[in-house]
Chains A and B, each alone.
Chain A
Amino acid sequence: MANMAQAIRMALHYGEKHLDVKDVFGQDVGPPMGGVFTATQGLDTAWNTPLDERGIVGAAMGIAMTGDICVAEIQFCDYIFNTIDLLKIAGNTNWVTNGNATLPMVLMTPVGAGIRGSVYHSHSFDAWASRLPGWKVVMPSNPLDAYGLLIAAIKDPNPVMFLKPKALLRVRGQELLPGEPENEKELKAMIDAPVGDRSQWKAKWPELKDHNVPIGKAKITRSGSAATIVTYGRHVLMCNDVADDLKKNQGIDLEVIDLRSIYPYDWSCIKQSVSKTGRVLFVNEDTEVTNFAEHLSYRVTHELFYELMARPRVLAGKNLPGIGLHANLEEASVPQVSDIKSEVLNLLKEVP
């Protein structure tokens, strides 16, 4: 099975071959590196830019204004903050022109902790991105969804931010992408650039097919009735582990929702689940003060108050200026499996 970096690469190849993507660009995105996580290796349309995040976002906006489709990358979301006013403009362009100027662009950026990335390779951006009206914001938790969400993002006529959970980029999926060879080694030989001289190397792409994960649609990854966990990105895997553990060892059936889209989000999925369970925990790793999950928690409280059996909870990253490098520091800063389990058990204990 492809890992997420390979899935992103294949979605981009599908985009340049079938969806008229004309430019994939960013720092170290083109040859020879093909992206610091290898997600852009072998693409015909990939090129390197100056180390200039504002230029990267501005260029994407300009290309999109011409109607050409492009996918730009900020190498780590930790370095996206100096583009925030451009991101605001990208989000408001369609609205402020009352629909006469559109920006069909995709901006990718790796997010989150989990790789011992220290202070400036561990930031999250989901809560920030949710405060950029006009953008659609997605974050996959597995390679197949990464493939489908990125294709959906390329097809979308709005600016779409594709958040890559960096700790999952090397994680393999459990389902084949449409057109992906079954043998992992065969895939690797086809699309992974060789170590050393790559000047003559060209990718041999499999015959990939379309796959659409609709933006705004969540996915239930574990079904249950005891409580709902709403999450996305790498914490889907952690929440699934907690659900599997509690089911196996304590007979507790948790429902886990992989939100996949942060904006627009799948309220009907959340509502249906929380109406069934009466208990909900929101989990993500962005900092906890004015976290996106607080909006969801507010909405649950406001609209489903009389169906709740316990107070909604938000488990997020600590409101710290950064993520410390040492494992003890990183793990104490963002939610871990043990934190999720503990919070779920507290949620289940509460008596109305």
Chain B
Amino acid sequence: MAVQAQSKVRGSKSKTKSGSSGLALPKQVLIKIHDLMLKSRVLEERMIKIYKVGEAYFWIGGPGEEAFGVPLGLLANKGKGVQHDWLHLHYRCSSTLVAMGMDFLTPLRLIMNKATDECTGGRNFSNHYSFPEWNVAPVTSPIGVQYSIAIGTARAQQRSKGKGITIVTGGDAGSAEGDFASSLIWASRRGSELPMLITVQNNKWGISTHFDEQHGENHVSDRGQPFNMRTTVINGNDPIESYIRLEEEMAYIRKTGKPVVLESTVSRLFGHSSASGANPIDEIDCLSDFQTLLLKKDILTEKNIKDLQSGYEKEAKAAQDQVRTEMTPQASSIWDNYFVGNETGNWREF
């Protein structure tokens, strides 16, 4: 978990700080990051259970990306409007949203397809969030499109000359889509650079196809180099490194208005989705590694962790019990919100 050991940066110098913890971040920040990583993991495991007992049709999510996702959510300038950060997330970003303040009810309403689901009204898969009040763009199933759409929010931020930046996340396999190239081209135009943090969470897989079958480049982020973009590879299984490097890169973007391509190596702990079984996979577990470190440094005790986990599990179970009682979408609602303001889009009513 050495902060600098695995980071590879082009165009910047990584800085580390000494904190009260003896690690590179203050103790309270480490405790907060751990709390949110654990909460997010409990949430994902609860969603998998919900799927496995037949209370959801499908699960897809991001256990294994917490060490990257939580720092990202903590560091994002949350709010509505171009002065705040815009986030274009893929469907493995529950930890980022937990760090931003998402409760248990919201994702469970989504996966359990309830009418109370504020993101889609029971219309879409798990982890397909949409939070306009936090500038979180709707998560889509088509891979990679968020890289093209992110160009637009970054353009609006560039025009406003504020400090808001656009953050986009996606998988290594999705970087094969043309949208990824679009984001590099548009973000790096000389004199019109966009304030974008273009990230790739490299878990080495695209469903069942390994990275080596899909890529010739050493690092996906290397693709930013011909565009004169600052690029970096970080160990996304290390929350301390992720926090420090993200903070540094976000500060650079806010200061210069220029883009960064950041690749983080992460794990995919339960496979692609429920379609591949949603069973535990033997990969690096960022949460248990982080807990081992915090125990070793006497920042947390076994009891702290157990109590925290037990509390979140109870909270998640209670949320499931509540959501189970909530209304399902009605068949008559299929035409709702076809157009804005419920203007009809049903041709039978024209």
The answer to whether B142 touches A85, judged by C-beta atoms less than 8 angstroms apart, is yes
A123 within 8 A of B: no
Query: Given A22-B159, A98-B337, A101-B130, are A62 and B182 also a contact pair (CB < 8 Å)?
Result: no
**Interface stretch (choices B11-19, B149-157, B204-212, B235-243):** B149-157
B10 within 8 A of A: no
User: Once the chains are docked, how many angstroms separate the CA of A101 from the CA of B178?
Assistant: 25
User: Once the chains are docked, how many angstroms separate the CA of A58 from the CA of B168?
Assistant: 13
Query: Given A94-B340, A99-B340, A100-B132, are A62 and B350 also a contact pair (CB < 8 Å)?
Result: no
> Taking CB as reference atom, which chain A residue is nearest B156?
A66
The answer to whether B350 touches A264, judged by C-beta atoms less than 8 angstroms apart, is yes
A65 within 8 A of B: yes
> Taking CB as reference atom, which chain B residue is nearest A98?
B121
User: Once the chains are docked, how many angstroms separate the CA of A101 from the CA of B129?
Assistant: 11
B227 CB, min distance to chain A CBs, angstroms: 12
Per the CB 8 Å criterion, the residue count for chain A at the interface is 48
Interface residues of B in 114-138 (CB under 8 A from A): 117-124, 130, 132, 137-138
Q: What chain A residues lie within 8 Å of B312 (beta carbons)? A: none
The answer to whether A134 touches B338, judged by C-beta atoms less than 8 angstroms apart, is yes
Q: What chain B residues lie within 8 Å of A68 (beta carbons)? A: 82, 156, 159
The answer to whether A96 touches B350, judged by C-beta atoms less than 8 angstroms apart, is no
> Taking CB as reference atom, which chain A residue is nearest B88?
A62
Query: Given A95-B123, A99-B340, A102-B340, are A54 and B347 also a contact pair (CB < 8 Å)?
Result: no
B328 within 8 A of A: no
The answer to whether B350 touches A216, judged by C-beta atoms less than 8 angstroms apart, is yes
Q: What chain B residues lie within 8 Å of A61 (beta carbons)? A: 148-149, 152
> Taking CB as reference atom, which chain B residue is nearest A299?
B347
Question: Most A CB atoms within 10 A — which of B117, B122, B157, B182?
Answer: B182
A65 CB, min distance to chain B CBs, angstroms: 6
B4 within 8 A of A: no
B138 CB, min distance to chain A CBs, angstroms: 5
Question: Most B CB atoms within 10 A — which of A55, A158, A265?
Answer: A55
Q: What chain A residues lie within 8 Å of B149 (beta carbons)? A: 58-59, 61-62, 65, 86, 89
B319 CB, min distance to chain A CBs, angstroms: 20
A54 CB, min distance to chain B CBs, angstroms: 5
The answer to whether B339 touches A66, judged by C-beta atoms less than 8 angstroms apart, is no
Query: Given A62-B149, A95-B337, A101-B132, are A264 and B119 also a contact pair (CB < 8 Å)?
Result: no
A267 within 8 A of B: yes
Per the CB 8 Å criterion, the residue count for chain B at the interface is 50
User: Once the chains are docked, how many angstroms separate the CA of A60 from the CA of B153?
Assistant: 9
The answer to whether B152 touches A85, judged by C-beta atoms less than 8 angstroms apart, is no
The answer to whether A264 touches B347, judged by C-beta atoms less than 8 angstroms apart, is yes
The answer to whether A100 touches B118, judged by C-beta atoms less than 8 angstroms apart, is yes
A343 within 8 A of B: no
The answer to whether B185 touches A50, judged by C-beta atoms less than 8 angstroms apart, is yes
Q: What chain B residues lie within 8 Å of A158 (beta carbons)? A: 339-340, 343
Interface residues of A in 80-125 (CB under 8 A from B): 82, 85-86, 89, 93-102, 104
The answer to whether B119 touches A66, judged by C-beta atoms less than 8 angstroms apart, is no
The answer to whether B152 touches A157, judged by C-beta atoms less than 8 angstroms apart, is no
The answer to whether A60 touches B152, judged by C-beta atoms less than 8 angstroms apart, is yes
A258 within 8 A of B: no
A159 CB, min distance to chain B CBs, angstroms: 10
Q: What chain B residues lie within 8 Å of A22 (beta carbons)? A: 156, 159
Binary CB contact string for chain A from 40 to 65 against chain B (1 if under 8 A, 0 otherwise): 00000000011010110111111111
A244 CB, min distance to chain B CBs, angstroms: 29
> Taking CB as reference atom, which chain B residue is nearest A88?
B142
A23 within 8 A of B: yes
The answer to whether A58 touches B151, judged by C-beta atoms less than 8 angstroms apart, is yes
The answer to whether A65 touches B347, judged by C-beta atoms less than 8 angstroms apart, is no
> Taking CB as reference atom, which chain B residue is nearest A90?
B149
Binary CB contact string for chain A from 167 to 197 against chain B (1 if under 8 A, 0 otherwise): 0000000000000000000000000000000
> Taking CB as reference atom, which chain A residue is nearest B350?
A267
Interface residues of B in 306-350 (CB under 8 A from A): 336-345, 347, 350
User: Once the chains are docked, how many angstroms separate the CA of A230 from the CA of B130?
Assistant: 41
B179 within 8 A of A: yes
Q: What chain A residues lie within 8 Å of B186 (beta carbons)? A: 49-50, 52, 55, 59
User: Once the chains are docked, how many angstroms separate the CA of A265 from the CA of B154?
Assistant: 35
Q: What chain B residues lie within 8 Å of A23 (beta carbons)? A: 155, 159
Binary CB contact string for chain B from 156 to 174 against chain A (1 if under 8 A, 0 otherwise): 1101000000100000000
Q: What chain A residues lie within 8 Å of B290 (beta carbons)? A: none
Instruction: Name the contact of A63 in the complex, choosing from B81, B156, B182 (C-beta under 8 A).
Output: B156
B160 CB, min distance to chain A CBs, angstroms: 9
Q: What chain A residues lie within 8 Å of B178 (beta carbons)? A: 54, 82
The answer to whether A96 touches B138, judged by C-beta atoms less than 8 angstroms apart, is yes
Q: What chain A residues lie within 8 Å of B132 (beta carbons)? A: 100-101
User: Once the chains are docked, how many angstroms separate the CA of A53 from the CA of B149?
Assistant: 12
The answer to whether A54 touches B118, judged by C-beta atoms less than 8 angstroms apart, is no
B260 within 8 A of A: no
A133 within 8 A of B: yes
B189 within 8 A of A: yes
The answer to whether B182 touches A58, judged by C-beta atoms less than 8 angstroms apart, is yes
Binary CB contact string for chain A from 15 to 32 against chain B (1 if under 8 A, 0 otherwise): 000000011000000000
| Closest A-B pairs by Cβ, 9 of them | A62-B152, A58-B148, A98-B121, A99-B337, A55-B182, A63-B152, A157-B340, A66-B156, A59-B152
23 contacts between A and B (CB under 8 A): A22-B159, A23-B155, A50-B182, A54-B148, A54-B178, A55-B186, A61-B149, A62-B153, A62-B154, A62-B156, A66-B81, A66-B156, A97-B130, A98-B337, A99-B121, A100-B119, A100-B130, A101-B137, A104-B340, A157-B340, A158-B339, A263-B347, A295-B347
Given contacts A61-B152, A96-B123, 10 further A-B contacts (CB under 8 A): A22-B156, A23-B159, A62-B86, A62-B166, A68-B82, A96-B120, A99-B121, A158-B340, A267-B350, A299-B347
